[in-house]
Structure 1
Amino acid sequence: MPQRTRRTVHDLRRDSRSAVLQRLYFEGRMSRQELGPVTGLSSGSISNVVAELVAEGLVEEAGSVESHGGRPRTLLQVRSGRGHLIGIDVGETRVRIEAFDFTLRELARAERPLVANQYDADVIVDHIRSGVEEVLAGAGLPPGDLLGIGTGVPGVIERDPRRGAVVHGQTIGWDAVPLEALLRGSGGVPDSTPWFIDNGAKTLGQAEMWFGAGRGARSAVAILFGSGVGACLFAEDSAQGQALEWGHLTVQVGGRRCRCGSPGCLEAYAGAEAVLQRWQEAGGRPPEGVDEETRLTALLTSADPPDGREPDPTALRVVKETAEYLGAGLAGLINLLQPERILVGGWAGLQFGPRFLDDVRRHAVAYSLSHPAAGVTVELGRLGPEAVTVGAATLPLADFLGRGGRVTAPAQRATPPAWRTALADRVLG
C-alpha cells in the first residue's frame, strides 16, 4: 500500500547541514554571508548550522577577508582531518587500495597484482583485507576513524537487503558473489564500518564528474578502458550514475568469442586483453613474462615509435582497427544517449588515448548521426590511473555529505514481515 512521505524537522536539518557542507567541500572557503545565497538558507539557519558543524569539528575558521565598508568576514572550510576514507579498485590486473583524508589527499596505498584469469573471490577478499590493514598501518589511522570504505569492481551490482552488495561479474567468473557480506568485518575494521560497492566504471566516472574532466557537464558518459571496456552514464535524471555493460554490445554478428561467452561483443575487439590477442594472431610478438600493461605499451610503441622509426605495420593495423571499433562503440552511445561529453579513462585508455584518441573521435563522428555528434566532445580523463580508487572513496564521502555529516548507522539485519514468518512452514499444493 503506498504511503505518503512527510518531511520531518530532522530531514530539514539534515538537508541544511548537507547543503552547507557540500558547498564548502566543493567550492572551498566561503563566508557565512556567501553561503546564504548559494544554499538558499536564511542567515539564521546558516549561523545555527555552521555553529553545529564547527562544534562537531567538521568545519573550521580559515582566516578572513575585507568586506565593503563593514567588519571583515570570517572564512570557513572543511577540516581535512575530520574523518578518513578508503578507496579500493578491484581491477583485472591488480587490486589497488588507498587511504585518504577527508579532502581526498592520499595518505597511503597498497597494491596486490592479479594473475590473469584467476579471480577467485576468496583471493580478492584476502587481498582487500591485507591491503586495508596495510594502508591503515601506513597512514597511522585508527580503524574506528573511518567514515567508510568504497570499492569499485567489474560487473553488475545487485543490492540484496540481507547480504548487501552482490556482484555478477560474468567476465571474471563471479556468479552472485556476496562481496559485501564477505568483506564486512574484515581488514581489521569494526563491523559497523560502512562498505560501499559499485561498478568500477561508475566510480571512475564519479571521480571525473566531481573533480576532473566531467566538472560542469550536464551529461557525460565515462569510459573505463582496461582489460575489458565498460561505461557509466551521468545525467540530470541520473546524477548518481548508471553503469552500462557497454562492452557487451554486439559489434559483429557471429564474431569473436568474448570473455562473457557471447560472440561479437565490443570487448572481444577493443578490450586490452583482446587487442593483445589480435596482435599475436596477426603475427605480432608481445613480450613474454610481463604483465598486460607492459605488453600493451609494447604494442603501442611498435605502432607509434617515439624515436621516429617506421611503425610496425602489423601493430599499426591492429591499433587502427581498435580505434575504429572504439569509435563505432562510442557512436552507439552518442546516438542513444546524446551526452555532452565522453570521458575516456582506465589504464589502457590512458595509454591508448594520447596517441590515437583523434582516430577514435574521427570514427565516432563517422558512425554517428550528425546532430548528436556535433554536440559531444570526446576527451581523456584527468585523474590518471588512480581515478577508480578516488571514485571508490567518493562513495562513502557522498553518503557522509548527503547525511549532513552524520555517521552512517550500523547495518541492521533485515527482519522479514510477520506474514512471511507465519506462512514459512505452510506447503502450497
Structure 2
Amino acid sequence: MATPHTRTVRDLRRDNRGTVLRRLYFDGPMSRQALGPATGLSSGSISNVVTDLLADGLLEDAGVVDSDGGRPRTLLRIAPASGHLIGVDVGETRIRVALFDLALRELARAEHPLGAGGYDVGRVVGHIGAGVAAVLRESGLDPRRLLGVGVGVPGIVDRGSPEGAVVHGQTIGWDAVPLESLLRDSLQLPPGVGYFIENGAKTLGQAEMWFGGGRGAVDAVVVLVGSGVGACVVSGGALCGGAYSGAAEWGHTTVHVRGRRCRCGALGCLEAYTGAEALLRRWREAGGDLPPEPSEEEALSALLAAAHPRDEGVAASPAALEVLGECAEYLGAGLSDLINLYTPERILIGGWAGQRLGPHILESVRRHATAYALRHPAERVTIELGSLGPDAVTVGAATLPLAGFFARGGRRTAAGERAAPAGKAGRHTSAPGLATR
C-alpha cells in the first residue's frame, strides 16, 4: 500500500515563496499589503516570506505609492540581477545562445550556423558549448550565478534515463541522444547549474503564454512553423506552465492518405504540405526562380517575392500563389483538428517561417480553419500571429530554468542534484510536433 505524501513545513515555506515570486514576476511591482489578497496568503505568511526573500537578495524596493489615509506603501519587485539564465535554440539553420537576467532582458548573444555538418551530435554540442562560453565571456558573469541552461530542441524529449534528458529526433537522425549528459560533460559548468531540455515548440509556447500573444488565455495552442511544424497545447492557464502544457506530434498527423512523402518517412503528414522545406520543394518542382545555393530563409523570401512582387509592374507568379494557397488550406485544416480536439480560445502562429508567411496567408488560414472545424468551437477561437518574433524559442528556453527556480521557491539547484522540469517529477516525456525552425 502506497504511503500518502505528507507536506512538511519546509514544503509549505517553499510553495509560499514560489507563490510570492510568481505573483511579483507576472504582476509586480506590488506592496506587501497587495500581495496578501493577490496570493491568498495571510499577512503573517507574507511578512515572513518577504523577509526571507529580501534577505536572500531576490527582492528589491521599487518605489512607494500613496495609500488611502495611511502611510505610503513600499513596492517590491524581483531583483533582476539576483540570478541569470541561458536560453539555447537548436534551430534548423543555426544555434542561438542568449544570456538573460531574471527580468528576461538579454545581456549577451552568440550564434553559430549549423553548416554542412547539420545535426551531427558532436557538432551541435560543440556549438552550444562555444555559445555558452561566448556569452559568459562577453558579460563577464561568474558561472556560479547561473540558475540554469534551457535548451529547445527538435524531437521527443524523454526523461526516463537516470542520466537526464534523452532526445529522439527521427527527422534529424537523432536516436536516443543523451543530450543532457553530453552537455553536462562538455560545458563543465558549476555543479549547481541545472540543465532543462524541452521540445522547441513547447519553449515557443511558454514564451508566448508568459510574455506574448498568449497572455491572459486559459486554453490556447501555439503553433511553430519552420522547416517543419509543431504545436504546444496549453490548458488551464499559463502561469509557470499551466495545468497542462505539452507539445504534440501535430506535424505528423495524416492529412492526405497515400499523400506526399514526409521527411519522417510516412506518407501524407501535415508537415509534408505546410513546412518550409515542403513548400520550397514544391516551388522548385514548379520551376521557381531561386538564388544560387540559397539558404532556406533566402529561398522562402524568393517564393514570397514571386507571389507578392513589390514592383507594381511585375505580375505575380501563378505557381507561387498556388503553392502558398495550398499551404494555407492544409494549415487551416490542420488547425481545425486542434480546434475540434482542444477547443482553444486562442491559436498563435509563430516560428521563423510562420512569421514570414503569416502576413500573406493568415486570412486564408482563418477561413479554411473555420470551414473545416465544427461550428461551435470555431466560433470561440481567434487565430493570430505570435508577437515575440524570431527570438521566441530562445526566450522560451530561458523560461525553463526560471520556472524551475520558482518551483523550488527561489532556491538554486543543490550541487549534484539533477534539475527536474518545472512542476514535474520522475519520468516525463514531451512529445513534439517536430519543433523545427
Q: Same fold (TM over 0.5)?
A: yes
Is contact 1:87–1:99 with CA below 8 Å preserved after alignment?
yes
After TM superposition, the score normalised by the length of structure 1 is 0.94
* Equivalent-residue separation in structure 2 for 1:298 and 1:63 (angstroms): 52
What residue is the counterpart of 1:234 in the other structure? Answer: 234
Letter paired with 1:199: N
In the TM superposition, residue 285 of structure 1 has moved relative to its aligned partner by: 2.3
Contact 2:147 2:412 in 1 (8 A): yes
Q: Which range moved further: 38-47 or 391-400?
A: 38-47
Q: Percent identity?
A: 64
Q: Which runs of 4+ in 1 moved over 3 A?
A: 237-240, 410-413
What amino acid is aligned across from residue 207 of structure 2 in structure 1?
A
The 8 Å contact of residues 80 and 102 in structure 2, kept in 1 or not, is answered as yes
Of 313, 316, 325 in structure 1, the residue corresponding to residue 318 of structure 2 is 313
Give 2:386's aligned residue. 381
Q: 1:171 to 1:116 in 2, by over 3 A?
A: farther
1:355 is displaced (CA, Å) by 1.7
Corresponding letter in the other structure for 2:396 = G
Tell whether 2:298 aligns with 1:294.
yes
Structure 1 segments unaligned to the other structure (5+ residues)? 414-429
Aligned residue for 1:334?
339
- How large is the Cα RMSD of the aligned pairs? 1.5
Which entry has the higher C-alpha Rg, 1 or 2? 1
Q: Distance in 2 between matches of 1:191 and 1:240?
A: 30
Cα pair 1:149 1:396 within 8 Å, conserved: yes
Matched to 1:253, the amino acid is V
Q: Does 1:304 align with 2:308?
A: yes
Distance 1:284 1:63 in 2: 59
In 2: Cα distance, 1:61 partner to 1:107 partner? 22
Equivalent in the alignment of 1:391: 396
Rounded Cα–Cα distance in structure 2 between residues aligned with 1:115 and 1:251: 32
DSSP-derived class of the 2:115 partner: coil
AA aligned to 2:172 is I
- The aligned counterpart of 1:425 is none
Secondary structure of the residue aligned to 1:186 is: helix
Residues 370-406 of structure 1 deviation map (CA, whole Å, 9 limit, x = unaligned): 1111111111111110000000000000010111101
Report the counterpart of residue 263 of structure 1 in structure 2.
Answer: 267
Paired AA for residue 175 in structure 2: D
| Displacement after TM superposition at 1:187 (Å) | 2.8
Letter in 1 for 2:288: G
Deviations 1:330-355 (A, max 9, x none): 11111111111111000000000012
Distance 1:231 1:411, change over 3 A: farther
Q: Aligned ranges for residues 212-251 of structure 1 at < 5 Å?
A: 212-236=212-236, 239-251=243-255
Aligned to 2:409: 404
Deviation at 1:289, TM superposition (A): 2.3
Structure 2 residues without counterparts, runs of 5 or longer: 419-437
TM-score (norm. length: structure 2)? 0.92
Distance, in Å, in 1 between the alignment partners of 2:103 and 2:36 is 23
1:274: which partner in 2?
278
Is this contact kept in 2: 1:344–1:381, CA < 8 A?
Answer: yes
**One-letter code aligned to 1:217:** A
CA contact (8 A) 1:107 1:139 kept: yes
Amino acid at match of 2:361: F
Secondary structure at the residue paired with 1:230?
A: strand
- What is the rounded CA distance, in whole Å, between the counterparts of 2:324 and 2:196 in structure 1? 36
